[in-house]
Amino acid sequence: MSKRKLAILISGGGSNMLALLDSMGADHPAEPVLVLSNDPQAAGLARAAARGIPVAAVDHRPFGGDRAAFEAALSAPIAASGADLICLAGFMRVLTEGFVSPWDGRMLNIHPSLLPKYKGLHTHARALAAGDTDHGCTVHGVTPLLDDGPILGQARLRVAAGDTPDTLAARVLKLEHQLYPAVLRRFAAGDETPVFLDAQD
């Protein structure tokens, strides 16, 4: 079976992108063909380039509110790369149905909460404010509804006494770096059985 060709979309440092890259060894059912950002200054671009991965950036700002035009520009490097699978990894732009639908079943995202709880932003502060004892992250298939697609994996931890949004985010991010590679390996091999991880700490 030929390898899946993976494009990873980022907006910032790309720590999840690095975890995915580092997980894709010779035996992996996917290979990275592009790291793409909406921010030409995203630190993750240099980190990917240092690993020999083709990179590109399409600055969303000149497009203003014209999401369709931005997404058409974003699609060009993806098409040129030959990618047949997309991982959103810290990608902070909302994608319209026009972009998402052709990638239905072929685009994943990682979200820092135990979906369906806390879709959207500020997930760690919201979990703390709710007094949740458990929290974590979710990898899901991307659909036109934000943070709403089929769950492909979750990693769970216990909220610690004294946790702040920052300390909780840091602990969840470590779980993200375990969960996303585990889900990608399984998904790229054609297995959509969800991955569930429980932190021991």
Q: Is 57 exposed, middle or buried (0-12, 13-18, 19+ CB in 10 A)?
A: middle
- Residue 196, SS3 per DSSP: strand
- Tokens (6 digits) for 95: 């994608």
Nearest residue (CB) to ligand GRF, 21 versus 89: 89
Nearest residue (CB) to ligand GRF, 72 versus 156: 156
Assess 39 for contact with ligand GRF (CB under 6 A): no
The Cα–Cα gap between 125 and 49 comes to 34
The Cα–Cα gap between 179 and 42 comes to 23
Selected from 9, 14, 58, 81, the binder of ligand GRF by CB under 6 A is: 14
Q: Which residue has the tokens 């509110």?
A: 65
Assess 147 for contact with ligand GRF (CB under 6 A): no
Minimum separation from the CB atom of position 14 to ligand GRF (A): 5
Binding range to ligand GRF, per CB under 6 A, among 7-15, 27-35, 94-102, 140-148: 7-15
Minimum separation from the CB atom of position 75 to ligand GRF (A): 21
Q: Which residues are catalytic?
A: 111
Binding range to ligand GRF, per CB under 6 A, among 12-20, 52-60, 96-104, 154-162: 12-20
Binding range to ligand GRF, per CB under 6 A, among 6-14, 62-70, 98-106, 128-136: 6-14
Assess 110 for contact with ligand GRF (CB under 6 A): yes
Query: Which residue number has the CB closest to ligand GRF?
Result: 90
- Residue pair 40/47 in contact by the 8 Å Cβ criterion: no
- Tokens (6 digits) for 113: 């909460």
Minimum separation from the CB atom of position 6 to ligand GRF (A): 15
Assess 13 for contact with ligand GRF (CB under 6 A): yes
Assess 113 for contact with ligand GRF (CB under 6 A): no
Identify the helix (H) or strand (E) that includes residue 158. strand 151-158
**Among 44, 26, 183, 173, CA closest to 34:** 44
The Cα–Cα gap between 93 and 102 comes to 17
- Residue 44, SS3 per DSSP: helix
Q: Which spans of this chain sit near ligand GRF (rule: CB under 6 A)?
A: 10, 12-17, 89-90, 110, 112, 173, 176
